[in-house]
Homo-oligomer: A and B are copies of this chain.
Amino acid sequence: MVISESQPPVEGDATSKKAAKKAAKAAEKQQKKAEHKGATTQNEPAEPDISEGKYGALKMIQSNGENRDRVYVDVKDLHVGLEGKDVWVRARLQTSRGIGKQCFAVLRQNSSTVQLLLRVNEQVSKQMVKFVGNITKESIVDIHATVAKTAAPVESCTVKLVELIGLQVWVVSSAKPQLPLQIEDAARPETDDPEGLKIRVNQDTRLDNRVLDLRTPANQAIFRLEAGVCKLFRDILTDRGFVEIHTPKIISAASEGGANVFTVSYFKSSAYLAQSPQLYKQMAIAADFDKVFTVGAVFRAEDSNTHRHLTEFVGLDLEMSFKHHYHEVLDTIGQTFTDIFRGLQDRYASEIATVGQQFRVEPFKFLDPPLRLEFPQAISMLREAGVSVGEEDDLSTPDEKLLGRLVRAKYDTDFYILDKYPLAVRPFYTMPDPNNPKASNSYDMFMRGEEILSGAQRIHDPDFLTQRAKHHQIDISKIAAYIESFRLGCPPHAGGGIGMERVVMLYLGLDNIRKTSMFPRDPKRVTP
C-alpha cells in the first residue's frame, strides 16, 4: 500500500476529515451488524428484541475510524445541569444487579461513581436488561444514557444528585467472571469495630493482584498524591535554582562499604546496584552544578522484612554547596518539606479525604519554619520520659518513635529536624562539629517519629577526609577515587536523601510502606 505523496495524511486537513466522516458512516453501518451479533449471542429465543442494536459486546477497538467523533463525559462531571441530556460515558461496571424488570448498576471511573438504571419499557427490552445484569464486574462499558435527577441523594455513589437512565450499553472489555478479589472488599474502611467480621483482603492477595487492588478509591488517591510529592519536591527545588541530574544505578564499587549491595552480571565482569546517588551528587557539586537534586531508584540488599523497608525504592536526593554554614542547606531542606506539606494540603485535599474514607488518617501537623532540635535535647527528653540512652548512642527505632510522640505532645508537630548527631554514629565522610569533638554537622528529619531523611555536611577537604577514613579503619585504597575528586577544588557542601514511599506513608499515616509503592520489592517479592 503506497499512499500518494500528493495527499499526505496529515491530521486535520479537510480531505482527511471528509474521509474520516465517510469512514465513520460506513463503520456505523458495520457496527450495527456487530451490535446485532452481540445481542444475538445472548441465546435469546426468537422473540423480537426491540433493543436490538442497542447493547452487546463491542468488537475489539482496533482504531478503524469508528466513533472517533463521539464525545464522552467524565463521571465526576455529571451534575444536575445536564438533566435530560443524553451522554456517552465509558467506565467500569462496578456492580450490577437485575431485579425483575429493572437493573441497577454502579459505574466507576477512577474514584468517582454514579448509578445506572435500566428499566424495561418501550425502548428497553427485557433481553437488554438481562444482558446488563449479567455483565461481569469490572468490565469496561460504553453507556449511552439520559441524565436524570435522583429522588433522594444516592449515598453509595460519589455522584449523588443525578443518575443515568440507560439507552445503550456496550461492553468494551470484559473482565473474567471470577475475580481474585472484590473491589468492595479491598476498599472497605478499616474501622475499630471489635465485632467487625467484615471481609478484608490481606496484603499478599492485594499485591499478587495489584492491578485490581490499585483500582480502589484509596489507592487511586494514594498514587496521585505520591505523584504530587515528586512534583512538589522538584518544582520547589527548581524554583530555588537546583538542577536536576541523573546518576547511574550500575556502579563499579559498592558505594557504602559493600554490605547490603546487589551484584549485577556486567558482560564478562560484575558490577553493583547503587545504594545511594551520594557520590554522584557530590561529584556534580565538585563539577560546579552548585545545587542538584535527583529522583530515582535506590537499591538495598537488606534482608529486612518490616513495615518500612523495601529492597528498591525511589530516592528524592539533593545536595547543595554553601558559603559558610551547613545550616544554609539544612534550612533549605526543612523549608522544602514545609512547602511540600503545604502543597499537599492545598492541592490534594480531595485525595487525602478519599484515603481517609478507608484508612483512619490523623491530619499531618507541621510548623513553619520547622522545628529544629539538637541531639542532646532529644536525649534529655527521652531521659525525662524514663528511657536510658547514652549521649553518644544512636537512637533505636522505638526511641525514635517515642521521641516523635514526645515532640508532638510538646511542640504540636509531626515533622522536625534533629541536628548535631554524635560523630561516632555517622559515616566517615561526615564533617565533625568544630565546637564539640563528640558532635557532627549532621541531621536526620522525622515524620510521625520515623526517619525520612538522613544528611550531613560532607568533608570536602581531601586530607581531612583521608584522616577521618583512617580513623574509621577504612581501606584508603578502596576509596581513592572518591578522595581524589576533592583534589580538583570542591566547595563546602551538604545534602540528604529522602525515601519517597516513606514520606507518602507517613504523611497519610499508613501502616505499611507496601501501600505506597505501586509494585513493591522486598526480600520475598519481585512480582508482579
Interface residue ranges, A against B (CB under 8 Å): 1-3, 5, 8-12, 60-68, 70, 72, 90, 92, 109-110, 138-140, 172-176, 179, 210-212, 214-215, 219-220, 223-224, 226-227, 230-231, 234, 238, 243-252, 262-267, 271, 273, 280, 283-284, 286-290, 295-297, 299, 301, 303, 311-312, 314, 323-327, 331, 369, 371-374, 376-377, 379-381, 391, 431-432, 434-436, 438-439, 441, 457, 460-461, 464, 481, 485-492, 500, 517-519, 521, 523, 526-528
Contact = CB atoms under 8 A, between A and B. Distances in A.
Contacts of A244: 227, 230-231
A271 B526 contact: yes
Contacts of A324: 61, 63, 66-68, 70
A488 B93 CA distance: 12
Contact of A488 (B179, B252, B369): B179
What number of copies of this chain does the assembly contain?
2
A436 to B, nearest CB: 6
19 contacts: A2-B379, A3-B374, A3-B377, A9-B374, A67-B323, A72-B323, A110-B288, A175-B487, A175-B488, A176-B487, A214-B284, A214-B288, A231-B234, A245-B518, A246-B518, A248-B526, A250-B526, A264-B264, A280-B519
A174 B489 contact: yes
A23 to B, nearest CB: 9
A441 B62 contact: yes
Contacts of A288: 92, 109-110, 214-215, 220
Contacts of A314: 246
A387 to B, nearest CB: 15
Contact of A519 (B68, B247, B517): B247
